[in-house]
Amino acid sequence: MVDQIETSNDVTVTLPRIQDRVPTVVVDEAHVIYRIHKGAGGGTSPVAALKRIVSRTSAPQVREVHAVKGVTFTAYQGEAIGLIGSNGSGKSTLLRAIAGLLPVDRGAIYTQGQPSLLGVNAALMNDLPGERNVVLGCLAMGMSPADVERLTPEIIEFSGINQRGDFASLPMRTYSSGMAARLKFSIAAAKKHDVLLIDEALATGDKGFRKRSEQRVRELREGAGTVFLVSHQLSSVRDTCERTIWLESGVLQMDGPTDEVIKAYEAYVNGK
């Protein structure tokens, strides 16, 4: 049983009916708190503690930043969900917690399979050429060597890094930050993910790359995965996601159809 949904840019997406929907991410009253150790003695390591004993200085102060405050929602297969909110509202923190890179302090996050976080900070090796990074990245995602060999030219083509000469054979350190981000997106998007988490990656490309990557996000979603997209580029969210979650100061403000949530967010931003 399926439902046809029209998105704002006239793309028709086919989604399973509510009763057939398979949850992929369940976030249940999740709290994430950063603890920053500051003050004399530097840190909590045994060496730092010993130094404090010898120098008779007090234990470092701990400052807490409560970045995500009791957020609850469920994401389903086939959904692309935008995450929006002001600077410092907790979007990247929530994404990192879903990826399992940050522990939740209270509450819980359950995911189906291993979510893949694609951020502009994803680690590639700066001294290796782009094409070697493609091979390493694909192998690290669990692709077979034969698939890697077949897909490498496609990934380089998709990224557009060779548009102004043969950059694929040059070390990554010679790339602009936009080129590096495009290559990272292209590597991650080459594989079908159960849950793909994208942090601002689409915003770094030029218009042509943005269109290609938005199309790829739609394909990934239609291939039954769930895609989360953190972006300040509201047009990207509008074109890619039919559902959007709005966070403000770590609190979930709204969760619903993208058009409604963006409208409320814009009214909030303009009224600030």
Ligand X SMILES: Nc1ncnc2c1ncn2[C@@H]1O[C@H](COP(=O)(O)OP(=O)(O)OP(=O)(O)O)[C@@H](O)[C@H]1O
d(CA 130, CA 172): 6
> What pairing do the DSSP bridges indicate for beta strands 195-199 and 116-119?
parallel
We find the least distance from the C-beta atom of residue 113 to ligand X, in angstroms, to be 23
Q: Does 101 bind ligand X (CB under 6 A)?
A: no
Interface segment toward ligand X; rule CB under 6 A; list 84-92, 109-117, 123-131, 253-261? 84-92
The residue from 9, 34, 50, 263 that contacts ligand X (CB under 6 A) is 34
Q: Does 85 bind ligand X (CB under 6 A)?
A: yes
The residue from 7, 24, 77, 92 that contacts ligand X (CB under 6 A) is 92
The residue from 87, 164, 177, 270 that contacts ligand X (CB under 6 A) is 87
Interface segment toward ligand X; rule CB under 6 A; list 14-22, 50-58, 88-96, 251-259? 88-96
CB within 8 A of 32, min separation 6: which ones?
Answer: 66, 67, 68, 90, 93, 94, 97, 102, 103, 104, 105, 250
Q: Does 36 bind ligand X (CB under 6 A)?
A: yes
Q: Does 60 bind ligand X (CB under 6 A)?
A: no
Interface segment toward ligand X; rule CB under 6 A; list 8-16, 18-26, 86-94, 129-137? 86-94
Q: What is the chain written as a DSSP string?
A: -EEEEE-TTS-EEEEE-GGG--EEEEEEEEEEEEEEEESTT-SSSHHHHHHHHHHTPPPPEEEEEEEEEEEEEEEETT-EEEEE-STTSSHHHHHHHHTTSS--SEEEEEESS--EEEETT----TTSBHHHHHHHHHHHTT--HHHHHHHHHHHHHHHTGGGGS--TTSBGGGS-HHHHHHHHHHHHHTS--SEEEEESGGGGS-HHHHHHHHHHHHHHHHTT-EEEEE-S-HHHHHHH-SEEEEEETTEEEEEEEHHHHHHHHHHHHHH-
Interface segment toward ligand X; rule CB under 6 A; list 91-99, 169-177, 187-195, 253-261? 91-99
Nearer to ligand X, 138 or 261 (CB): 261
Interface segment toward ligand X; rule CB under 6 A; list 85-93, 116-124, 150-158, 172-180? 85-93
We find the least distance from the C-beta atom of residue 93 to ligand X, in angstroms, to be 3
Size of the site for ligand X (CB under 6 A): 12
We find the least distance from the C-beta atom of residue 254 to ligand X, in angstroms, to be 15
Q: Does 43 bind ligand X (CB under 6 A)?
A: no
The residue from 5, 40, 65, 269 that contacts ligand X (CB under 6 A) is 65
The residue from 88, 100, 208, 223 that contacts ligand X (CB under 6 A) is 88
We find the least distance from the C-beta atom of residue 20 to ligand X, in angstroms, to be 33
d(CA 74, CA 18): 12
Residue numbers at the binding site for ligand X (CB under 6 A): 34, 36, 65, 67, 85, 87-93
